[in-house]
Homo-oligomer: A and B are copies of this chain.
Amino acid sequence: MSTQLLNDRDIEFLLYEFLDTERLLSRPRYEDHSREIFDASLRTAKTVAEKYFANHYEKGDQQEPTLVNGQVEMIPETKAAWQEFTKAGFLAAHQDYDEGGMQMPEVLVRVIMAYINAANIGTAAYPFISIGVTNLLRAFGSEQQKSLYLPLIMDGRANGTMALTEPGQGSALGDITTLAEPHADGNYRLFGQKMFISCADHNIADNVIHMVLAKIKDAPVGVKGISLFIVPKFLINDDGRPGARNDVVVAGLNHKMGYRNATNTALNFGEEDGAVGYLVGEAHKGLGYMFQMMNEARIGVALGAAAIAYQGYNCSLEYARQRPQGRLPSCRDPASAQILLIEHADVRRLLLAQKAYSEGALAMCLYASAVFEDQNTAPEEADRERARLLLDLIIPVVKSWPSKYGCVSNDMAIQILGGSGYIREYPVEQMYRDQRLNPIHEGVEAIHGIDLLGRKVSMKDQAGFNIFVEEVTKDLAHATKAGLTDNLVAGLKIALDTLCLTTDALLEQVKADTDKGLANATMYLDMFGRIVAAWIWLKQARLAETRISAGNCGDQDVAFYQGKLQAARYYIEWELPAVQQLAALLDSGNRVTFDMKDDWF
């Protein structure tokens, strides 16, 4: 682990300068809050993260969960972490006071989770998924379901899981086959197998509440026949305590490359009489309910990616500042002292790229969270609608860019440490392994490419896309006014214009032939991602330029803002121009990969 989890100065910048979170204090929901309260929560989060999560980051990797007589056993630190997290009230931090929550703004909750993720991404999976489950229950559960299950999870007596995937279906949820048979008791009995279910057994709490997608007998085929069920590991007695064991068992553990302290299971439902399941909401509407939680879950995965990248950056930065190694190419005196790694230009390149990826990813996730906030609490409905449209559009990018470039970033951290980076005596190799999950779960990259180009861009007459272009254009004007150098502004301007042309061209291609038109959608996702990332960096650069120009910053602040400016320059000058090459491929409807045939491989 790095000696610092994220970078407190950066968090302060992102929350109070970049996103101006204090503006939320004027909204009724937050009128009892203050910056002091926000900061106190963050201090608590940091303490919990440092004391109860970071303490077993390596240990949870080395001693991963095991299955002993059908029960998962884990290192004891996991339970302590879970308990401290729930005790701090973070499971419900975003909920209203009258639901036992702290009524915190979304973005604050995300920063809390960012600290936890940075400390231990494997253990963080337990609270992360449980928060999603409580949100799902709150939104769609009956009053009786809410009163029975929510307190259990919020008190830490049970955790939640999301049981969607099955062995034979992967990304295509329409093909799930888990069956729900109506039972005389008015509930259902479930039969089937789920795969890759995280946190589905453990010894951190007494019970597990599975949220399970299944098909009721004779339901419509495909996604329109999916229902959502609550399936507790132990049925709940009327007093809220665990009762009879339900017919859901861990069939086996999956042994992951990373994220190891998050148990990952194959689950069997109904090996005997059927697992008792309670329908949530209406029959056949389960996938719709899940999808309404999707944006939150996707920002959550991306936030994990940002946090792991940030840790790798911090570790390799500390190493580069301490480790003497070689001399400058110009040095001809072998008797001269070795210089530090950070004095080598290529090491600074690897560090600056990591800064651009990791701080950029965190800023992107928090920006998305602020938009999420606006969709719920902006005073005007027009603003809420605008936020909704914008968020829906950018969510595939917000999920994918941090996940993809998080992997690149953690790869660079290893490279800086060299041989030491490759051995388990240093933590960066674990981060590299942990990070690799993120481009897979919550939708593989290809799915998000198709979602973006095949659905989101054209949705409601491109309303979301148009808002995005307006927002970027507005920021370009602000940036010019703030005195940002022309190559930054022009760089993004050109890329945005290119995006608009390419989008038009692609939508025509999709109209002409859906499969061919969407064939290169992953490349479009990457192109779009680079532009969103560059925009996020331009916003930060503008603020930095303004602060420096004001002339009243201390030396440390000036250095901090210079770093932001330099990272923006790096991203816009080094990484953004690839947009042109991607546009050329996409505009021409390049057929090379589409035309490739099975028997040519």
Contacts and interface: CB of A to CB of B under 8 A. Distances in A.
Contacts of A444: 415, 418
* Copies of this chain in its oligomeric complex: 2
Interface string A563-591: 10010011001100110110011000010
A268 B49 CA distance: 39
A407 B432 CA distance: 12
Nearest to A168: B324
B321 A598 contact: yes
B601 A573 contact: no
A344 B449 CA distance: 13
A419 B573 CA distance: 35
Given A346-B446, A585-B574, A599-B559, A514 B330 contact: yes
A317 B601 contact: yes
Main secondary structure on A side of the interface with B: helix
Contact of A440 (B324, B335, B338, B422): B422
Interface string A315-333: 0010001011111111000
B326 A172 contact: yes
Given A170-B326, A256-B422, A573 B592 contact: yes
A532 interface: no
B171 A514 contact: no
Interface string A410-446: 0100110011011111000100110011011100111
* Max chain B C-beta neighbours (<10 A), residue from A169, A221, A345, A513: A345
A520 B432 CA distance: 25
B437 A422 contact: yes
Given A348-B593, A352-B592, A600-B566, A422 B436 contact: yes
A597 interface: yes
B519 A423 contact: no
Nearest to A341: B170
Contacts of A423: 254-257, 264
A190 to B, nearest CB: 21
Given A418-B444, A440-B421, A346 B601 contact: no
Given A328-B515, A596-B566, A222 B449 contact: no
A562 interface: yes
A308 interface: no
A584 to B, nearest CB: 7
User: Contact size class for A?
Assistant: 35 or more
Interface string A349-379: 1011001000000000000000000000000
A566 B578 contact: no
A334 interface: yes
A348 B351 CA distance: 34
B419 A195 contact: yes
Contacts of A264: 423
A573 B601 CA distance: 18
A453 B429 CA distance: 30
Contacts of A520: 345, 349
A348 B515 contact: no
A521 interface: yes
A598 B342 contact: yes
A10 to B, nearest CB: 11
Contacts of A195: 419
22 contacts: A168-B324, A170-B323, A170-B419, A174-B334, A222-B334, A224-B334, A255-B425, A328-B514, A328-B515, A329-B515, A330-B513, A330-B514, A345-B519, A346-B449, A346-B522, A346-B593, A348-B594, A348-B596, A349-B520, A415-B444, A560-B600, A562-B597
Given A171-B418, A411-B436, 10 more contacts: A170-B326, A174-B334, A257-B424, A330-B514, A344-B446, A345-B520, A346-B519, A419-B441, A421-B440, A566-B592
A-B pairs, top 6 by smallest CB distance, nearest first, are A222-B334, A172-B326, A345-B519, A563-B600, A349-B593, A346-B446
Interface of A: 165, 168-172, 174-175, 195-196, 221-224, 254-258, 264, 317, 321, 323-330, 334-335, 338, 342, 344-349, 351-352, 355, 407, 411, 414-415, 418-419, 421-425, 429, 432-433, 436-437, 439-441, 444-446, 449-450, 454, 513-515, 518-522, 559-560, 562-563, 566, 569-570, 573-574, 577-578, 580-581, 584-585, 590, 592-601
